[in-house]
Amino acid sequence: MEIPAIVGAGLVVIGAGIGIGRIGGSAMDAIARQPEAYGKIQTAMLIAAALIEGIGFAALFAVQ
C-alpha cells in the first residue's frame, strides 16, 4: 500500500467519524426541542449513520 492511499484511508475514517458525530449531536438537539418526535428522529439518525459508515467501509476496502 502506498503512502497516499494510507493518508486517504485515514481521511475517510476521520470524515466518517465527524459526520456521525454531527448527526448524533443534531439529533440530540432535535429531540430536546421536540421530545414527542423521538422515534422518527432516532430512525432517521440511525439510517444516516449507517449510510455514512457503509461509505467509509467501502472507501477503506477500495484502498486495498
Homologous superfamily of domain range 13-63: F1F0 ATP synthase subunit C (1.20.20.10)
* Residue predicted with more confidence, 17 or 62: 17
- Region 50-57 average pLDDT: 92
* Alpha carbon distance 28, 48 (integer Å): 14
* pLDDT for 62: 80
Whether the CB-CB separation of 52 and 4 falls below 8 Å is answered with: no
pLDDT in tens, 3-52: 888 898 889 989 999 999 999 999 999 999 999 999 999 999 999 999 99
Residue partners of 34: CB distance under 8 A and separation at least 6? 41
User: Look-up: residue for cell 467519524?
Assistant: 17
Domain residue limits, the chain? 13-63
* pLDDT for 15: 94
User: Look-up: residue for cell 454531527?
Assistant: 22
Task: Work out the pLDDT band at 1, boundaries 50, 70, 90.
Answer: low
